[in-house]
Each structure stands twice: as structure tokens, then as C-alpha cells.
Structure 1
């Protein structure tokens, strides 16, 4: 039974996709040299990225932390018995959104700058998980660690 669930919506995806179509369709229509194949391939890439990253779900249950992006093809699981420490953090703005390699580990974030940093027993690198409710997420992870 999940003790923590959060869904974060990636508003920026739904700004980029309409911008692409607003710019590309007139450009394509003006016979500017963009071929139909180029237009379709670029449009398909935008749509696939939208499906893969339209949001991020974070779950904490009795045994693990699960992070899933978009439709769920991209995901990460961290077992609570492998967590050494967890603390709330504020990410630097230039770390960006998505899945990023940061100086001391990996960042999983879809919007905002707040999150938790998870230190694992089996690795020197950390995992940062973006969250609108970083304190609540940290508490849920800590409680899960305490039960294990």
C-alpha cells in the first residue's frame, strides 16, 4: 500500500509542442524547402517526447521508491533497504528538467527546483528526485527506511 503518491505535470511540454506546430506548419506551407518527411519526423519526435515526459509520478511504499515519467516507459526504482540517508534540497536552476547527470549523481525532475537527495548504501553517487512536496516526500522515505 503506497504511503506517498505525487504527480507533477510538465507544463513546458505543452508549450513547446504548440509552438512547434505554430511555427512549422506555416513554414512548411510556404514551400520553404522543408519536405513532408522532415515535417512528419520532427512532429513525431515532439509527440513522442511529449508522451515520454508529460509528467512524473513518484511513489513510496513499504519497500521502494518508484519514479516514472510520462506513460511509464522511463522509470527508476530505489529499494528502501538500500537508502542510507535522505534530505530535502534545492536544485540549481541550470540542472534543468528531465533526467540529468549532475556533479554528484543523477537528477529526476519534471518541474520546479525543490526535491530530495537520496544517498545509497551501494554507491557514492546520489539520486535527486524533484517534488512539489519535498518535506512530505522526505518524511515518507524516512518512515519507510525506519520500518525496514
Structure 2
């Protein structure tokens, strides 16, 4: 083996080692970023579930809505997206029926507005998260780490 070919092998191996190190460092940052975005969505999802639980309890106790009876004792966090969407539809129709001028409905109105605010915040974070899962380096790592896309609660118009 000539010194010239040994030099080429050495340079190529150093180049490969540097390339692998760069891929490793980039992988750490990409995975960390995906987990951070997931935690943001999960945190807002928890706030959404709490506000939804509050509003179900208030509407069930004060307005005595029969359609909320079956959701009154359930754990909201364990419900599927479709069931939560049904609850939101029931709440929306019940909210349209209440008198917004009455003082006794002020807490219901305030809680409903907070729920809508948290829902908008959650949906905006979900859109950002889902978009990241569809971009190039993130989609590979999302498949490896088995990150799932979240669904939106805001109806498309």
C-alpha cells in the first residue's frame, strides 16, 4: 500500500467520522425540538380538558342539560377526539340557548369564553406541531419515535 492511498483512506475516514458526528448532534437537537413541541401541545390539551370539565359541570348543575348527563361523571382526558367534539357541539347549542344578559349566567359565560380561548390556543399549537411533523427532517424522526398528529377542535369553514 502506498503512502498516497493511505492518506486518502485517512482523509475519507476523518470526513465520514465528522459527518456522522454532525448527524448525531443534529439528531439530538431535532428530537429535543420535537419533544418540546409535543409537550407544549400536551400542556395546552390538559388545560383544555380542565376547562371542558368545568363547563360540563357548570352547565349540567345550573342549566340541567340532559344531553350532558352521560358526560358528567366521565374522565374527560380519556375521551376520544370525536366524543370531545360531540361535547363541544352540545355545549355550543346550549350556550346559544342561554340568556347572556342574566347575572346568574355570568360564570357560565366566562368559563365558556375561557374554553374558547384555550381551544384556539391549543389548535394554533397543534397546527404548528402537525406542520413540523410533515417537514423533512422532523417527519423521519417522528416516524421513528412514533409521534402522532393531533386533531383540531375548530371546525373548518
TM-score (norm 1): 0.29
Q: Which has the higher helix share?
A: 2
TM-score (norm 2): 0.28
Larger Rg: 2
Greater RCO, CA 8 A, separation 6+: 2
